[in-house]
Amino acid sequence: MRLDRAELRVVSLPLLQPFRTSFGVVGEKTFLLLRLFGEGLEGAAEGVMDARPQYREETLSGALALLRETVLPEVLGRDWVNPEELTRHLSFLRGNRMALATAEMAFWDLHARSLGRPLSALLGGVRDAVPVGVSLGIQPSVQATVETARAHAERGYRRIKLKIEPGWDVEVVRAVKAALPDMPVTVDANAVYTPAHLNTLLELDGLGLDYIEQPLAWNDLRDHAKLQALMRTPLCLDECITTAQDARKALETGACRLVNIKVGRVGGYLEARRVHDVAASFGAPVCCGGMLESGVGRAHNIHLATLENFTKPGDTSSSSRYWARDISCEALETESGLMPVPPGPGTGVTLDLPFLDSVTRMKETVTL
């Protein structure tokens, strides 16, 4: 596949409801969209970096510059046999796993389309629908959380994940567990606790949670290992894991017992599959995360989650939970807690260009 040209966009989509985590509130999702063109076809991917480095260190403006000035000039105007070859060529670049993932994922989409095959089939996926849970932002009250958790349980979601922070943890978990005793419940702290919060973390350990996601610092495995040794509840790492080597070290040292995989965080599908395989070799399940993606990024996540070891429900819930209108023509909606893999070549989704144009803040074409 010879790559002729690329298009970079910055897109802003208003969320139906603001999403609050321990690191801030998102009312409007602003993201990078990359389209790659070659042989009369196109592939697309969405970057998961935010404008401000609050989840991890990469930023939207940094990723745009890196793609425009370094990554795209390395890959445009050349013929690539497959995504492995393209990814190997880019492997001299350090870090920047989110920016690199955006380029790799758009190329996988294009490559799969050129073969007329769904991405999940090329990746070795084993299911045509993936089990999904829902990630609920921090709500105005415990009562509001119980109500929204119940509403999502009634819609078929198979796991409720509650965002927590100091002062918004034990009480809200107790209330949701009491209201939905049979529902698997997890919490995600997005790295806001410290070892000084040990008593609260040990209280959470007694509440029957399915797992606790990223309680401690975004770049620290050691303290997670010390905490895991004191807890029965499995820890799940998200922010800490950007490579398969990170996953191996985390599992080897007991810093976690499962891994949240976001293809957009770990550098693309090849690394995501390696993280998946490393976890499997430790007997640790993986779950597919989400970053409030539009239909483009959501479709990529769904294809990844067809791999065998994604046995925990993921975060790829229905588009209609986030957006009044999505940038993909195809609706991505769950049915009884299962998200069907969009059929058709590549990701199986196509861009609604008139609508996309109306929500595009910046657009530029990159050629050699």
Figure out which of the listed residues 104, 109, 188, 326 binds Mg ion, where binding follows CB under 5 A. Answer: 188
- Pairing of the two strands 212-213 and 185-188: parallel
CB contact at 8 A, 205 and 225:
no
Stretch that binds ligand OSB, among 83-91, 101-109, 266-274, 290-298 (CB under 6 A): 290-298
CB contact at 8 A, 283 and 311:
no
Is 163 catalytic? The answer is yes
Cα→Cα distances 218→31, 86, 161, 215, 239, Å: 21, 29, 19, 9, 5
- Give the number of residues in contact with ligand OSB, rule: CB under 6 A: 11
Residue with the closest Cβ to ligand OSB? 290
Nearer to ligand OSB, 38 or 289 (CB): 289
Tell me if 289 contacts ligand OSB by CB under 6 A. yes
Nearer to ligand OSB, 257 or 298 (CB): 298
Stretch that binds ligand OSB, among 106-114, 171-179, 221-229, 289-297 (CB under 6 A): 289-297
Nearer to ligand OSB, 82 or 194 (CB): 194
Is 363 catalytic? The answer is no
Which partner in ligand OSB, Mg ion, none is near 148 (CB below 5 to 8 A by kind)? none
Which partner in ligand OSB, Mg ion, none is near 350 (CB below 5 to 8 A by kind)? none
Tell me if 291 contacts ligand OSB by CB under 6 A. yes
CB contact at 8 A, 303 and 123:
yes
Which partner in Mg ion, ligand OSB, none is near 31 (CB below 5 to 8 A by kind)? none
Task: Report the chain's terminal Cα–Cα distance, integer Å.
Answer: 16
Stretch that binds ligand OSB, among 4-12, 172-180, 284-292, 358-366 (CB under 6 A): 284-292
Q: How far is CA 293 from the centre of its chain?
A: 8
Name the amino acid, one letter, at 255: A
Nearer to Mg ion, 61 or 311 (CB): 311
The catalytic residue among 29, 177, 226, 262 is: 262
Contact letters for ligand OSB, residues 170-189 (x by CB under 6 A):
------------------x-
Figure out which of the listed residues 125, 290, 345, 346 binds ligand OSB, where binding follows CB under 6 A. Answer: 290
How deeply is 106 buried, as exposed, middle or buried, from its count of CB atoms within 10 A (0-12, 13-18, 19+)?
Answer: buried
Tell the smallest beta-carbon distance from residue 184 to ligand OSB (Å): 15
Tell me the HSE value of 347 on the side-chain side, using a 13 A CA sphere. 30
Contact letters for ligand OSB, residues 314-333 (x by CB under 6 A):
-x-x----------------
Which partner in ligand OSB, Mg ion, none is near 132 (CB below 5 to 8 A by kind)? none
Nearer to Mg ion, 165 or 352 (CB): 165
Contact letters for ligand OSB, residues 106-145 (x by CB under 6 A):
-----------------------------x----------
Tell me if 55 contacts ligand OSB by CB under 6 A. yes
- Which positions touch ligand OSB (CB under 6 A)? 55, 135, 188, 190, 238, 289-292, 315, 317
What is the set of active-site residues?
163, 262
- Which positions touch Mg ion (CB under 5 A)? 188, 213, 238
